[in-house]
Amino acid sequence: MDCFIKKIFEGKPDNLAHIQFQKFSKGEFKDKAMLKARNSSGKFTISTTPEYANEMVRSMAEKLGNNKTHVTGIVVSTKDLSGELEFSDKKQFMGIKQYVIDREMTGEEIMQICDKFPNSFIALSFKANGNELKIKPKAPKSKPSTKAEEKPKIDFCKLITNDRKIVKEYIFDEEADNFKNIEVKHTFFINDIIIPDELKNEKDFAKIREMAKKKGKIIRGLDIDGKILKKEIEFEA
């Protein structure tokens, strides 16, 4: 399950990549999709900001497969998921609903949640075949800001794995093949909002916001064992 940044840099943005940009307006957005990782003799610890949560859950669910594990965390949604999602508790504030998960699940069951609710924020923690994922059970900030703010902490998600294939889903740069310590951050430049022709006369602004694509560029900054690199790509997602 490649992360949305990798999909964009490989020219293969999909609907999951599109969802990542739904909340963005035009502008420059610094310190997004940040991660840092450490390689200790083939054991990798990857910490990230919230953007990677859903993809990490998917990746680890694929790893788990039909096996069961204890899963804890929350599914965050603006929609009422009662009757569609099995949960042990529900919290609500300012229209945002948090559904608490605390039960045994298979990887397939976790994947069903990801597939059924792709627009929800899925913050689940569990172990899978020697790998461990921990995500803070809280909703991330709802809106990105263009204002100069304190640099975000890179500690919302934490993945511990010895599977290099999983590592490559997030750290896909050839220059980082043998890293010991790495930090990655992105700046998003949204220059255009593209509304599909079939929505030109649409009055439902929520539908327009959901369907409109964002066009611009992404700058990927890397610090690989003290070596600073910068990459840039134009995108539409």
- Give the distance, in angstroms, between the CA of residue 174 and the centroid of all CA atoms in the same chain: 22
Q: What is the pLDDT of residue 199?
A: 81
Q: What is the pLDDT of residue 229?
A: 98
Q: What is the pLDDT of residues 172-230, one digit of tens each?
A: 999 999 999 999 999 999 999 999 888 878 778 888 888 999 999 999 999 999 999 99
Q: What is the pLDDT of residue 145?
A: 60
> Nearest CA to 19 among 146, 121, 172, 124?
121
Model confidence band, residue 147 (pLDDT cutoffs 50, 70, 90): low
Q: What is the pLDDT of residue 130?
A: 92
Alpha-carbon distance of 118 to 113, in angstroms, equals 8
Question: Do residues 160 and 57 lie in contact, with contact meaning Cβ atoms separated by under 8 Å?
Answer: no
What average pLDDT does the structure give for the chain?
94
- DSSP-derived 3-state class of residue 168: helix
Residues 8-15, mean pLDDT to the nearest whole number:
96
Task: Please state the three-class secondary structure of 25-56 as a single string.
Answer: CCEEEEEEEEEEEEEECCEEEEEECHHHHHHH
The percent of residues above 90 in pLDDT, for the chain, comes to 86
- Give the distance, in angstroms, between the CA of residue 111 and the centroid of all CA atoms in the same chain: 15
Q: Is the pTM of this model over 0.85?
A: yes
Is the Cα dihedral 167, 168, 171, 175 positive or negative? Answer: positive
Model confidence band, residue 127 (pLDDT cutoffs 50, 70, 90): very high
Residues 62-80, mean pLDDT to the nearest whole number:
96
Enumerate the β-bridge partners of residue 206: none
DSSP class of residue 202?
-
Q: What is the pLDDT of residues 82-126, one digit of tens each?
A: 999 999 999 998 889 999 999 999 999 999 999 999 999 999 999
Each domain of the chain, given as residue ranges in start order, spans 4-236
Question: Do residues 183 and 212 lie in contact, with contact meaning Cβ atoms separated by under 8 Å?
Answer: no
Model confidence band, residue 79 (pLDDT cutoffs 50, 70, 90): very high
Q: What is the pLDDT of residue 53?
A: 98
